Amino acid sequence: MIHLRSAAEIDAIGRGGAIIGALFDELQLRVTPGVSTGELDRVCEEFIRAHPGAVPAFQGLYGFPGAVCISVNEEIVHGIPRPDRILGDGDIVSVDVGVTLDGWCSDSAYTFEVGEVDAETRRLLRTTQAALDAAVAAAVPGNHVGDIGAAVMATVEGTGMGIVRDLVGHGVGREVHEEPQVPNVGRAGYGPQLRAGMVLAIEPMLSLGTDRIKTLSDRWTVVTADGTRSAHFEHTVAVTTDGPRILTGSTRQAEAGVESGLGTP
């Protein structure tokens, strides 16, 4: 079933979500050439646990071995952090973080540039951010889940990039993954109708090539089937009568008046 959350419950989800927004501000400084994904995982876990009661929601979820998922270049999602996975200049790294606080979950992802990335990679990151912005804007009462996927498709059309279809967004609440599924492709007006109180993780994943994916032999890491680079941006968003409310935005950017919490850090 699809849950509708009260204003107080949405505030509670937002308290955990704000930890992720602040963590991503911190990671902007920590993601540099030479750092390992294992070290970034340690930074994330310590940052989350420094907030009383907060725990990394993905740690042990379905048996996942890290505190957060860290995926490099052609890896799309579910990368396992490792001390021997060293980031190099020009890489991109997607960090996907879940937080549970006071029994409420939040979920957000951001793809960081490591040092100087090439123009094509920057275009991928900008397009994926724009797809998330458009998808979030579609999360209003009266729209349907299909309007969210349609907004992603409209943003990506003509860019030559692939939209990963086999992985989807989802409801968020007491569990990290709740109903409904929120695909990144869709038709406006189709799917469950959006109502005030729904809380959704909206998370477009794009590639510079194919939309097909495969899973590595570690049984976790999902990569693009053609090895092209992939980006992933995600926010937990509440559908409200006042419009979409991003619950995992950057504190720093919110203070600077950037509404979406995205844009150039």
Site residues, Mg ion (CB under 5 A): 96, 107, 109, 201, 234
The sign one gets for the Cα dihedral 175, 2, 165, 202 is negative
> How many CA atoms does the CB half-sphere of 229 hold within 13 Å?
22
Kindly tell me which of 142 and 203 has the beta carbon lying closer to Mg ion: 203
Q: How far is the CB of 177 from Mg ion (least distance, A)?
A: 7
Kindly tell me which of 177 and 229 has the beta carbon lying closer to Mg ion: 177
Q: How far is the CB of 156 from Mg ion (least distance, A)?
A: 19
Q: Which 8-state DSSP code applies to residue 63? A: G
Kindly tell me which of 142 and 201 has the beta carbon lying closer to Mg ion: 201
Kindly tell me which of 151 and 189 has the beta carbon lying closer to Mg ion: 151
Q: How far is the CB of 168 from Mg ion (least distance, A)?
A: 9
Q: How many residues does the chain have?
A: 265
Q: How far is the CB of 247 from Mg ion (least distance, A)?
A: 13
Kindly tell me which of 78 and 85 has the beta carbon lying closer to Mg ion: 78
Q: How far is the CB of 77 from Mg ion (least distance, A)?
A: 8
Question: What three-state secondary structure class fits 147?
Answer: helix
Q: Which helix (H) or strand (E) holds 207?
A: strand 205-207
Residue by residue, what is the 3-state secondary structure of 155-195? HHCCCCCEECCCCCEEECCCCCCEEEEECCCCCCCCCCECC
